[in-house]
Structure 1
Amino acid sequence: MIEFHQVTAYQQQTRVLNRLSLKIESHERVAILGPNGAGKSTLLKLINRELYPVAQEGSYLKLFDSETIHLWQLRDRIGFVSHDLQENYTPYTTALEVVVSGFFGAIGSHEHLQPTNIQVDQARAMMTILGIAQDEACMFQRLSTGQKRRLLLARALVHHPEALIFDEPANGLDMGASLSMLTLLRSFCSEDRSLIITTHHVDEIIPEIDRVVLINRGQIIADGPKPDILTSENLSELYQTRLHTSEKNGWYRCWHD
């Protein structure tokens, strides 16, 4: 589904990824874990075509086995949710319009993008599934952080993509909203679709995720099955502090001395 090979990328004048290689197959459920500034969000922006890698010999980025996939095809196949999207979303868009905009890959409503009645019905159905149908007429800016995150998840899923990519799903949420969001992600996994999340918190890695990639300073430092990667030694190296991990029912927790 996704293949980075020796990819280098910059954000403004700063090199964020340095000759990074990573392959993720269809139907995998992967967590990309690393500290703030490690390069996680940049990696996702490359997948979403918000950012492009440096053109250099021997380097490529393939999405669905193509280096030149059309943007509309990409939007049909991948649903994307990020904190940046939430912060930059048109504030006076209604909740229903937010979800409907997922059919067009748009941010907000636009006169030239008119949804069909079927699309509106599908948007309402997705809002019902995610427990936000009652917010249909509310303005995006007036909703809580948890409600906004659910709306953007509905927007990402309304066209039933093959894969969901979620940048820090519990970022900015209180404990109740965080647990609710993670429960929704677990429900998504029950439908046998691909999931990629980024996070810097081990306890956001839901049991259904079976592969973990550790990233720091723009390079991958470990990659493999979750039990092999989420060890005290690996996480201590990643975060440069003495850490301990434990597991219960597929959930991991981490603490320091």
Structure 2
Amino acid sequence: MIELNQVSAIQQQTQVFNQVSLKIGYNERVAILGPNGAGKSTLLKLINREIYPVERAGSYLKLFGNETVNLWALRSKIGFVSQDMQEDYTPYTSALDVVTSGFFGSMGTHAHLQPSDDQVALARTLMKQLCMDIDEQRMFQRLSTGQKRRLLLARARVHHPQALILDEPTSGLDMGASLGLLSLMRNFCGEGRAMIITTHHIDEIIPEIDRVILINQGQLIDDGPKNEILTSEKLSDLYQTSLQVSQNDGWYRCWHG
């Protein structure tokens, strides 16, 4: 589904990645773990075509087997939710219009982009499925952080994407909202679809995720099955502090010690 070969990336005149190679297959569920500033969000922006890799002989980034990707087709295959999207979203958009805007890949409503009756009906169904059957005309800015995240998740699902990409999915959420979102993520994986999340909290790595990639300073440090990567030794090395890791029924937690 995603293949990077010797990819380098620059943001704000700083080289974030240098010749990184990575493959993520169809239907894989992957967590990308690393400290703040490690390059996790940059990697997702490369996949989502928000930024482009440095052109270099032998270097390429393929999505669904192609180096050249139609952005409209990409949006229908990958649903994307991030904290940046939530902060940048047009604040005076109604709850319903937030979801229907996903049909057009826009960050708000526009006079020339009017959803069909079927699209509005699907948007309402998705809102109800995500426990967002609220006043559909309530403005985005007046919603709680958890409600905003659920709306953006509904927006990401309007095309029934093959994969969801979530950048630090529970960032800014209280405990109840976090647990609710993790449950929704598990439901999506239960549909047999792919998921990629970035995080620096291992307690939001749901049991359905079976592969973990460790990243730091723009380099892939380790990559493999979850039980082999989420160890006290490897996470202590990644975060440069003494950590202890435990596992219970597919959920992991860690603490200083």
Q: Under a length normalisation based on structure 2, what TM-score does the superposition of the two structures give?
A: 0.99
Instruction: For 2:8 and 2:188, locate their aligned partners in 1 and report how far apart those are by CA, in whole Å.
Output: 32
Supply the distance in 1 between the matched residues of 2:123 and 2:108 (Cα, whole angstroms). 14
Tell me the residue number matched to 1:207: 207
Matched residue SS, 2:180: helix
Q: Quick one: distance in 2 between partners of 1:170 and 1:3?
A: 27
Report the Cα distance in structure 1 between the residues aligned to 2:59 and 2:172, rounded to whole angstroms: 35
How far apart in 1 are the matches of 2:88 and 2:244? Answer: 37
Partner of 1:78: 78
Where do 1:115-194 residues align within 5 Å? 115-194=115-194
| Inter-partner Cα distance in structure 1 for 2:72 and 2:28 | 23
Q: CA deviation at 1:15?
A: 1.1
Letter in 1 for 2:189: C
Distance in 1 separating the partners of 2:251 and 2:6: 32
> Does structure 1 residue 25 correspond to structure 2 residue 50?
no
1-side partners of 2:129 and 2:118: how far apart?
Answer: 17
Query: Where does residue 198 of structure 1 map in the other structure?
Result: 198
Cα deviation for residue 158 of structure 1 reads 1.5
- Which residue number corresponds to residue 46 of structure 2? 46
Q: Which residue of 2 aligns with 1:224?
A: 224
Distance 1:135 1:21, change over 3 A: farther
What is the CA–CA distance in structure 1 between the aligned matches of 2:161 and 2:21, rounded to whole Å?
25
| 1:127-177 superposed Cα distances (whole Å, 9 cap, x missing partner) | 000011113111000100000000000000121111100000000001111
SS across alignment from 1:120: helix
Could you tell me which runs of 5 or more consecutive residues in structure 2 were left unpaired when the two chains were aligned: none
Match of 2:89 in 1: 89
Q: Cα offset for 1:66? A: 0.3
- Distance, in Å, in 2 between the alignment partners of 1:76 and 1:150 is 18
CA distance in 1 between counterparts of 2:81 and 2:121 reads 22
Q: Distance in 1 between matches of 2:34 and 2:135?
A: 34
Deviation at 1:58, TM superposition (A): 1.3
RMSD: 0.6
Q: Which amino acid aligns with 1:32?
A: I
Cα distance in 2 between the residues matched to 1:136 and 1:213: 38
Q: What do the CA deviations read for 1:186-218 (whole angstroms, capped 9, x no partner)? A: 011100000000001010100000000000000
For these two proteins, the number of residue pairs brought into alignment is 257
Question: 1:224 corresponds to which letter in structure 2?
Answer: G
Aligned partner of residue 37 in structure 1, secondary structure: coil
**Aligned partner of residue 134 in structure 2, secondary structure:** helix
Match for 2:30: what amino acid?
V
1:215-244: CA deviation from partner (whole Å, max 9, x where unpaired): 000010000000000011110110001111
What code does the residue aligned with 2:110 have?
Answer: H
Q: What corresponds to 2:98 in structure 1?
A: 98
How far apart in 2 are the matches of 1:17 and 1:104?
Answer: 31
**For the residues of structure 2 that align with 1:167 and 1:127, how far apart are their CA atoms?**
21
SS in 2 for 1:135: coil
Partner of 1:60: 60
- Structure 1 stretch 10-19 or stretch 102-111: which is displaced more? 10-19
* Structure 1 gaps, min length 5: none
CA distance in 2, matches of 1:233, 1:62: 33
> In structure 2, how many angstroms separate the alpha carbons of the residues matched to 1:240 and 1:60?
32
Structural mapping, 1:6-21, within 5 Å: 6-21=6-21
Task: Give distance in 1, aligned partners of 2:29 and 2:110.
Answer: 34
Percent sequence identity is: 70
